[in-house]
Amino acid sequence: MKRVVFLAVAVLLVGLAGSAAAAQCGCPPQANAPSCYTGYWAGVDVSFKLVVPVGYFSQCPMPETPLITGWRVEQLDGTIVYQNQFPDVPKGHYLVMTWNQKDSAGHRVAPGFYRLVVQTTTAGEFSNVLKIVARPSIGWGCCCCPQLASCDCCPSFTSPYVQIMQPPKREFSPGTLSISITVPLTGGDCGCGDCCP
């Protein structure tokens, strides 16, 4: 009997926690938001790279391996926020690039959507969208978006694309409690269609 009561209480607590997480108070969906993006907390270095899939080289005639000539960060309207060029020696496509979320003048950028654009020698430019989110202040009366949301774009199997690495997770330390509830999304919710498993 005690076991049944304990399980009922546990199920009730997990259900309440799931409802609170699903409510995500203070986090309404944004209109005019891109269909896919990677979320990062403000102030965290953003790492990204150009991925050249094997299928890219199955074209006939076989294309040259694209080398990176530079990269830039721009607002969605095309305004350049920061750029880094490699005019003398292009870099290999295996290069992992890092942006410290600062503009060309060294000032921290505001939260919002930004496009990371990688320029290549032979294949053109490739981009992906990043969403910088201000860290919420957790108060007693609000759940305040405990999770950082991302809606990843589907990778291409035949064309290069920019992969934004997932932000680092915080390590558990004494005196903190971390609860993570994962809700799988079905195809189409993130602009992927049915291409992602």
CATH of the domain at 50: 2.60.40.4070
pLDDT at 95 over 90: yes
Among 4-13, 20-29, 73-82, 149-158, the range scoring the smallest mean pLDDT is 20-29
Indicate the pairing of strand 38-41 with strand 125-133: parallel
Number of domains observed in the structure of the chain: 1
**Prediction pTM value:** 0.68
pLDDT at 172 over 60: no
The verdict on residue 183 lying in a domain is: no
The verdict on residue 62 lying in a domain is: yes
Reading the block at residue 58, the tokens are 């199955």
Q: How confident is the model at residue 193 (pLDDT cuts 50, 70, 90)?
A: very low
Closest alpha carbon to 38 in 111, 94, 93, 113: 113
Q: Which helix (H) or strand (E) holds 167?
A: none
CB 113 within 8 A of CB 130: yes
Q: How confident is the model at residue 88 (pLDDT cuts 50, 70, 90)?
A: confident
What backbone phi and psi angles, to 5 degrees, belong to 55? Answer: -60, -25
* Mean pLDDT computed over 55-79: 93
* Mean pLDDT computed over 62-79: 94
The verdict on residue 175 lying in a domain is: no
* Mean pLDDT computed over 113-136: 93
Distance CA 48, CA 163 (A): 6
The verdict on residue 2 lying in a domain is: no
The verdict on residue 178 lying in a domain is: no
DSSP 23: H
Domain with 46 in it: 30-136+143-164
